[in-house]
Amino acid sequence: MQAELHALEGNLEAMELLARRFFDGRGVEQCYLMSYVWSSIATSHGVKHLGSLSHFCFKKMSHAQQSSVHQHIDTIKGTLASSVVASVA
């Protein structure tokens, strides 16, 4: 998925696009967990208007998903950090 590659490179518009696609199920299977992950990461990078989306998605997730959400976020943030280091080198 092209949007995911751009998001992993730090592109905020791609992060927002992924958050909304996972929320709506457009082009991907609807997944509140992944919508939450991408909207949270984008929000932490300054896209503040996605905060309400991440809050809504968190409420819609199962308890098991809520428990694992930080692991997913940390994994993606690790990939983002690796992409930034690679682009600087």
Report helix angle 12-24 to 51-60, nearest 10: 30
Q: Which of 43, 20, 42, 17 is nearest to 31 (CA)?
A: 20
Which pLDDT score is estimated for 84?
61
**Banded pLDDT at 1 (limits 50, 70, 90):** confident
Domain range list for the chain: 2-88
| Count of helices and strands (H, E) across the chain | 5, 0
Burial of 26 (0-12, 13-18, 19+ CB in 10 A): exposed
36 closest CA partner among 9, 11, 67: 67
pLDDT of residue 80: 86
pLDDT digits (tens, 9 = 90+) for 75-86: 998 988 787 656
pLDDT for 23-70, tens place per residue?
999 999 999 999 999 999 999 999 999 999 999 999 999 999 999 999
